[in-house]
Amino acid sequence: MKSESQAPGKIILSGEYAVVFGYPGIAVPSPQYLRVTFEKLTNREDILIDWPQISEDALWQTYAQRIISLCEQKSEKSTGILSIHSDIPLGKGMGSSTALVIAICRCLLGQECEIDARAIEDSVNPGNSGIDFAVIWKDKPLRFQKGIAPDPTQLRTDFLKCGSLIDTGKANESTPDLVAWVNERSKESQIEEALREIGECTNRLLAGEDPLAVFRDHHRCQVALGVVPSEVQTLIAGIEARGGAAKVLGAGGRTGGGGMVLALEPSE
C-alpha cells in the first residue's frame, strides 16, 4: 500500500524577518516541489528513509527522522519505506524544511492534517513566523501578517518572468540562529527602521509600484539587518548596475553564502 504527497517551496517577495515582528509580507509558491512516497510494509519494524540526495548529510536525515517520530506520536505506528525527492534547493531560503514537514505529514497523517502539521512545524522550526507554512500548505500566493488569517493576494506576478534564481551557497548560520540574532537587536533604531521599511515594501508591491524599485529598497533593508554576506552584496550591486534588482530569499546569512537570490532584469 502506497501513499504519496508533495509540497512546493516558497519565494518571499517581501517580508523577511519583518513578518516575525508583525509587519505584512507576501510569498508565492515556487515551481519546485518536494515529493514523498510512503510504502507500508509489515516485514519491517520501523520506517526507513530513502533519500539519496542527502546521503552524506546527517543533519537532514536526523531532521526527517524527527518529523516521522512526531507524526508517530499523533497516529498509529507505521512501518515501511519513506522515499523523498526534492527539486527545492535544500537549506537555501526557499522553504525546503517546511515543505518536508508538510509532505511527510500528509503522507503519514492524511491530506487534512493541517493542525497536526502546524504543531510539528512549530516543534522542529521554533520561532518561525508562519509565512512559510501558510503559503506552502495552501500552494497559492498569500499576503501574510501575524494574528490575521492569510489572505490570497491578487498581486500580478508577471515581473517574475524577468526573474531568475541564483544559488549563492549555504549560510554558515542556521535560520533559527539568524532569527534569534535579529531579535536580540530588534530594539536598535537601525534594525527597527529596516523592519518597518520591509513591511512598507509589502504595501508598495500590493499598491502596484515597480518591483525593481521595491526590490532595491528591500535589499538595502536586508543589508541593514546584517543578513546579506559581503560577496552576495557585490553580486547584487552588479545586477543593479545593469538596471536590474535582486534580494536574498529567506533568512540569508551573516557569513558563507546567502542562500538563493531572486534577481529581476528590466526586460525579459
**Residues whose CB is less than 8 angstroms from the CB of residue 228 and which lie 6 or more positions away in sequence, other chains included:** 219, 222, 236, 248, 252, 253, 258
pLDDT tens digits along 151-175: 888 888 889 988 999 999 999 998 8
Q: In the predicted model, what is the mean pLDDT of residues 58-76? A: 93
Please write the tens of the pLDDT for every residue from 96-142. 999 999 999 999 999 999 999 999 999 999 888 899 999 999 999 99
The confidence band for 178, taking pLDDT boundaries of 50, 70 and 90, is very high
- Given pLDDT bands bounded at 50, 70 and 90, which one contains residue 7? very high
Q: Is the pLDDT of residue 268 over 60?
A: no
Q: What is the arithmetic mean of pLDDT over 43-72?
A: 92
Q: Which domains does the chain have, with CATH numbers?
A: 2-152 (3.30.230.10), 158-264 (3.30.70.890)
191-211 average pLDDT score: 96
Q: Give the residue-averaged pLDDT of 33-37.
A: 97
pLDDT at 57: 84
**pLDDT value at residue 173:** 94
Average pLDDT, the chain: 94
CA distances from 24 to 17, 43, 104, 151, 195 (A): 10, 50, 29, 11, 10
pTM reported for the whole predicted model: 0.91
Write out the H or E segment, with its range, that includes residue 264: strand 260-264
**Region 47-65 average pLDDT:** 91
